[in-house]
Structure 1
Amino acid sequence: MPLALRLGSDDLTRCRFAISPLCQTHEALRMLRRPARHGYHRGWLRRMGRTLAGLDLTPLWLFVPPAGGYTPDFLGAPPGEPYPSFDDELARMRATDPALAHTEMTRSLACTPGLAQSRRGRAAIDDPAATVQRLADLTERAWHALLAPDWPRHRAVLEADIAHRSRRAADGGLDALLTGLHPSVDWADHTLTLRRYAEVADAQRPDGRGVLLMPSVFVWPDVVSGFAQPWQPTLIYPARGMGGLHADPPPRPPRALARLLGHRRAAVLAGLTAPSSTTDLARRHGLAPSTVSAHLSTLREAGLLESRRRSHHVLYARTPLGDALVEGDVGPGAG
């Protein structure tokens, strides 16, 4: 049976988006444990090979079943605000009620036969407060080693996904937003149905707080839901553009686009499958940063790109018109 979430009127008016660096960290860890998810991230894995070799996360792996199954919700809990910092989320994780942690860790260990009775399993649940702090320490290490260096680009991809879906909602209403989240997500008769997700007996049902929608770089090819009490009902789905975040080499531009803009400028536009900085694009295309900067300025003036400052970087992303040109969707009267 698929997972069905029926949304009442209060839920429909309170659906919202959020970006969670803590959740992204644990989705990355789940991806590392499940090889089927590696497809879009092989370039990232190659870059992280040496880092991963020196990162001992054994106590965390205890609660990330490699063949699927339940990971404790408090490890990547739905955030209470739209754009929390990692430090704030980690502090919230450290403050997890030991009784709640014990319940969730016991459920997770039960997914692997014999693990709850093992020495490590018993030690973890015998002192849940200490285990929470140990898991938080390891999560902090994983964040700084695996995600923090790339977080400006990751966050830009997630923000671009939210902006795109917000435009869909503005153009077509909530129906357009919810039906376009993922091929396995259906929306009909006030019910959000996850067809590839098995029914979860104790999944948190919509209760007037709305459903939290969180794009993810690492969740592909799945959609994740089923958070139990007391967490807000949440749907984590693959972010639009995540496939190009670590793509190497850049895609070739369509021939017609290359004739229109020139090959190099068209290649820069086509290569922006995810928000990127001038330095990123120069490295990927083998061009001087000054050359890339000139192409970016021209493309932005033409309305094909937009830029946004993120920390010390300026990240460029395609506008809907830029997307349409690259994808060949500009017809008569467009623009």
Structure 2
Amino acid sequence: MPFRLCFGDGDLLRCRFAVSPRWETQEAVRTLQRPGRHGYHLPWLRAIRASAASLDLRPLWLLMPLRGHTPDFLGPPPIGPAASFDEEIAAIRAADPDAAREDIARSLVCTPGAYESPLGRAMLADPARAVRDLADLTEAAWRTLVEPHWPRLRALLEADLVFHSRRLAEGGLEALFTGLHPSLTWHDGTLTIDRPGTHVRELGGQGLVLMPSAFGWPEVVSGFDPPWQPTLVYPARGIGALWTAAGTRTPEALARLLGRGRADVLCALEAPEATTALAQRLGMAPSTVSAHLSALRDAGLLLSHRHGHRVLYERTPLGIALATGGTP
């Protein structure tokens, strides 16, 4: 029987999007242990190979069963739409040890032998220390594996939010939910997830957090038992271009027309992106990229819109035509 999330009238008003650096850190750690995910992130794996070897990730891996429960206190839903990693790790450090022990025990029983292992017994014997150690290890994983690449990851995730926010505005909830993933269907106030297991949850006025993920790709994850807000994590769009170097496919004719720098910026904007992330991908100074973006926008080739404290740029139909050689 599939998973079902049942909406009431109040829940429809409390659906929100979020991006979570803490979630991406958890899934980056999980990706290292899951060869099936490696093909999507080979350039990243090569970049972090040496630094990842310095981390002992076994305590986190022990709580990431192939099937079953990962402790909710290690990955609570984001505090807000633009929560920082520091805010999210503070929430983990503030976890109640008694509740964390129950959460850890529930996870350990999902992996044969984990409950009786030395690591598992140590966590259960001193849950307060387990919370501290797991938070420290999560922070170390963030600093080592994810933070150096966060501008690029954040740009991908925020571009996904822009796309799906527009889909919601144009087609309503049905268009939004069915466009997130093929396993999702929306009918008569119920969001159904086609996956093994049985789970029915009345949202009860809490609404639903919708969160794109790069490292969780291509899986859909739903859960978070009370008191956590119900959350649906879905694969972000554009994962194929996440680790691709930008500026390698700029047509020479376009470079002669616009100048190499502006042409590279225009061609690199395959999805909405902010100045800093684009500068990192192109190897340019942010000030230079900012000047190119302004010129392209003034020429009618780009649009800009604010997302939180950041401004995202995307191509207009004319910009798309120039960059791809198509017709606007």
Report SS of the residue matched to 1:240.
Answer: coil
Gap regions ≥5 residues in structure 1 = none
Correspondence for 2:221? 224
Q: Aligned residue for 1:23?
A: 23
Q: Displacement of 1:229 after TM fit?
A: 2.1
CA distance in 1, matches of 2:303, 2:30: 33
1:46-57 to 2 correspondence within 5 Å? 46-57=46-57
**Separation of aligned partners in 1, 2:325 and 2:222:** 34
| Residue pairs, 1:44-193, within 5 angstroms | 44-65=44-65, 67-193=66-192
Contact 1:204 1:232 in 2 (8 A): no
Q: 292, 314, 325: which one pairs with 1:318?
A: 314
What is the alpha-carbon distance in structure 2 between the residues aligned to residue 56 and residue 290 of structure 1? 39
Cα displacement (A) at 1:232: 1.0
Q: CA deviation at 1:102?
A: 1.5
Instruction: Give the partner amino acid of 1:8.
Output: G
Q: How far apart are residue 288 of structure 1 and its match?
A: 9.8
Q: What CA distance in whole angstroms lies between the structure 1 residues aligned with 2:202 and 2:121? A: 31
* Aligned mates of 1:142, 1:133 — CA distance in 2: 14
Listed as ranges, the matches of 1:249-328 within 5 Å are: 252=249, 268-273=265-270, 275=273, 277=276, 279-283=279-283, 296-306=293-303, 317-319=313-315, 321=317, 325=321
Q: CA deviation at 1:42?
A: 0.9
Match of 2:197 in 1: 199
CA deviation map 1:245-292 (0-9, x unaligned): 212476746899899979986654333345364543444xxx999997
- For 2:248 and 2:40, the matched residues in 1 are separated by 14
Shift of 1:129: 1.5
SS in structure 1 at match of 2:46: helix
**Rounded Cα–Cα distance in structure 2 between residues aligned with 1:267 and 1:72:** 44
Q: Is residue 223–residue 237 contact of structure 1 (8 Å, CA) maintained in 2?
A: yes
Change (3 A) 1:259 1:207: farther
The range that moved more, 2-11 or 270-279, is 270-279
Question: Residue 13 of structure 2: SS of its match in structure 1?
Answer: helix
Partner of 1:12: 12
C-alpha deviation, 1:108, in angstroms: 1.3
Whole-angstrom CA distance in 2 between matches of 1:194 and 1:186: 7
Question: Partners of 1:6 and 1:38 in 2: how far apart?
Answer: 34
2:209 corresponds, among 203, 206, 212, to 212
Q: CA deviation at 1:205?
A: 3.9
Measured on the aligned residues, the alpha-carbon RMSD in Å equals 3.4
* C-alpha distance in 1 between matches for 2:270 and 2:110: 37
| Per-residue Cα deviation, 1:103-141 (whole angstroms, up to 9, x for no partner) | 221121112111111222111112111101110010111
Question: Given that residues 161 and 240 in structure 1 are in contact (C-alpha distance below 8 angstroms), is that contact kept between their aligned partners in structure 2?
Answer: yes
Deviates more, 1:294-303 or 1:227-236: 294-303
Go from structure 1 to structure 2 and tell me whether the alpha carbon gap of 1:68 and 1:156 turns closer, same or farther (over 3 Å shift).
same
Among 235, 239, 242, the alignment partner of 2:239 is 242
- Post-superposition Cα deviations, 1:177-218, rounded to whole Å, max 9, x if no partner, equal 2221122221122111112x32344x7541211011111121
Query: What SS does the aligned partner of 2:232 have?
Result: strand
How many residue pairs get aligned? The number is 324
**Shift of the alpha carbon at 1:243?**
3.0
8 Å CA contact 1:5, 1:191 repeated in 2: yes
Q: CA 1:291/1:156 → structure 2, altered by over 3 Å: closer, same or farther?
A: closer
Please report how far the alpha carbon of residue 44 of structure 1 lies from its aligned counterpart in structure 2 after TM superposition.
1.0
Gaps spanning 5+ residues in structure 2: where? none
> How much identity, in percent, do the aligned residues show?
53
Shift of 1:294: 7.1
Q: Contact between 2:250 and 2:264, CA under 8 Å: does it hold in 1?
A: yes
* Cα distance between partner residues in 1 of 2:161 and 2:207: 17
- Flag the 1:150–1:206 CA change in 2: closer, same or farther, 3 A: same
Q: Which region of structure 1 is more displaced relative to structure 2, 226-235 or 318-327?
A: 318-327
Matched to 2:119, the amino acid is R
Counterpart residue identity of residue 85, structure 2? F
Separation in 1 of the partners of 2:78 and 2:202?
A: 17
1:110 maps to amino acid: V
For the residue of structure 2 that corresponds to 1:232, the secondary structure is: coil
Q: Quote the Cα distance in structure 1 between the aligned partners of 2:225 and 2:263.
A: 47
2:246–2:281 CA contact under 8 A, matched in 1: no
The separation in 1 between residues aligned to 2:73 and 2:115, in whole angstroms, is 18
Question: How high is the TM-score relative to the length of structure 2?
Answer: 0.84
